Amino acid sequence: MKAKLALENGTIFTGESFGASGEISGEVVFNTSMSGYQEIYTDPSYSGQIVTLTYPLIGNYGVTDEDMESSGPRVAGVIVKEYTETHSNFRSSSSLGDWLTQHGITAVQGIDTRMLTRMIRTQGALRGVLSTMELDDTRLLAKVAAVPSMNGLDLATKVTCGSAYDWKGTDTTPFALGVPGIDPGRRFRVVAYDYGIKYNILRRLTAFGCSVTVVPAGFPAADVLAMKPDGVFLSNGPGDPAPVTVAIQNIRALLGRVPIFGICLGHQLLSIALGAKTYKLKFGHRGGNHPVKDLRTGVIEITSQNHGFAVDPDSVDQSAIEITHMNLNDNTNEGIRHRSLPAFSVQYHPEASPGPHDSDYLFREFIALMAGEPVPVRTV
């Protein structure tokens, strides 16, 4: 079945559908990861986005239920250079195409993803419409004009959970990342705000000795404190952080009352709560290969990233807040730590699903903060 991608700059790409038939719209972005497509597609941070994978061959290892990062695919749509239905993986439960079709996700192959990626890098992330139903170029471009910008879009409150729940999942696969030196009998109670949380964050918190209660994005700070947590976690999520005002107000009410650790959107929300400002990146950071420097030690981490907004370092009050991490590709902010309050956050994904494990030490730092112990700083 033929499919077309129309972009706001007037470009039309024609390819072949391998997912569900239909028509979707969103912001067209790219991800440079070489594997982990299922984890990418199920990451709620991609809500409202049509994701282009720069790696050319996609689908060769199928999909498996154990690799989900949420209850199902969260991307608006999928773009690849070449899809393969034949998959070889002893863990796989179905092909990628069948899985996307089952979940109603429109996907297209046969598009020149190198051209598309260079276009996004040059012009910035572009609004687009992906369709197997409407193939008239003029009508498609008219629909693109009506697609909302990601600027000012509060998507976190749309993807959050409906009510609080206790996380019971653990990583029981043979590939689970161990945590040496953690006393399994020493439990910390963590309340995790769900702005679009990934399952592997919850798995890592559990592996580090935490019992986790997940709460909706707008859950009142007073109710969190009434649960007497040892720490509060602020999750990743989609969209612009600035309009998520209820979350920002709750974070301000929690500051100084309980240790706080934020990742991705959680980092942006914590920064805003501390007086900083955010801005939209030209084309964002998405992939499993981004170098980040820990400014405290000089250690370079290869990190997993997925965000379209960033914290403006010039807006950070550095008398109260230490800038801890920096992206070496473009010198954007990647982490902060309050100098007197127990609160820190990073822009990237230390749970790295998909991605490297260089930054897993940050969970240990959160544990130390909750235990009231000196925070161990990695030196190698």
Tell me the per-residue pLDDT of 29-85, one tens digit each, with 9 for 90 and over: 999 999 999 999 999 999 999 999 999 999 999 999 999 999 999 999 999 999 999
Active site residue 161: no
Domain shared by 136 and 72, yes or no? yes
CA torsion sign for 325, 331, 334, 336 is positive
Q: How many CA atoms lie within 13 A of 272 on its CB side?
A: 24
For residue 69, the one-letter residue type is: E
pLDDT band at 314 (very low <50, low <70, confident <90, very high): very high
What value does the mean pLDDT take over residues 227-243? 98
Given the residues 27, 301, 351, 365, the one annotated as active site: 351
**Which pLDDT does position 184 carry in this prediction?**
64
> Exposed, middle or buried, 367 (CB in 10 Å: 0-12/13-18/19+)?
buried
* Active-site residue, from 39, 69, 264, 290: 264
Residues 119, 134 contacting (CB under 8 angstroms): no
Number of residues assigned to the chain? 380
Q: How confident is the model at residue 374 (pLDDT cuts 50, 70, 90)?
A: confident
The last residue of a domain, from among 100, 123, 144: 144
Mean pLDDT across 78-107: 96
CATH number, residue 266: 3.40.50.880
Residues 167 and 269 in one domain: yes
Whether residue 75 lies inside any domain: the answer is yes
What is the extent of the structural domain holding 243? 156-371
Backbone angles phi, psi at 177, to 5 degrees: -80, 120
Over the stretch 120-144, which tens digit does the pLDDT of each residue have?
999 999 999 999 999 999 999 999 9
What is the number of other CB atoms lying within 10 angstroms of the CB of residue 132?
A: 21
- Is there a single domain that holds both residue 93 and residue 208? no
* DSSP string of 96-110, one letter each residue: HHHHHHHTT-EEEES
Cα four-point dihedral sign 369, 370, 374, 376: negative
Residues 267-303 have pLDDT tens digits of 999 999 999 999 999 999 999 999 999 999 999 999 9
pTM: 0.96
Quick one: 99 and 202 in the same domain?
no
Domain for residue 174, yes or no? Answer: yes
Q: SS3 letters for 146-197? A: CCCCCCCCCCHHHHCCCCCEECCCCCCCCCCCCCCCCCCCCCEEEEEEECCC
134 falls within a domain: yes
| 8 in active site | no
Confidence of residue 379 (pLDDT cuts 50, 70, 90): low
Average pLDDT of the residues in 345-356: 94
pLDDT of 266 over the 60 cut = yes
How far is Cα 237 from Cα 246, in angstroms, rounded to an integer? 15
The identity of residue 115, as a single letter, is: M
- Pairing relationship of beta strands 126-131 and 23-31 according to DSSP bridges: antiparallel
Eight-class DSSP state of 244 = -
Task: Choose the catalytic residue: 8, 39, 349, 365.
Answer: 349
- Domain final position from 144, 175, 206: 144
Q: How confident is the model at residue 349 (pLDDT cuts 50, 70, 90)?
A: very high
Note the pLDDT of residue 180: 74
Same domain, 275 and 328: yes
Q: Which of 52, 50, 51, 55 is nearest to 35 (CA)?
A: 55
| Domain C-terminal end among 124, 144, 164 | 144
CB 72 within 8 A of CB 264: no
Same domain? For 256 and 299 the reply is yes
**pLDDT for the residue 375:** 80
Domain match, 182 and 284 both? yes
Tally of CB atoms within 10 A around 14: 13
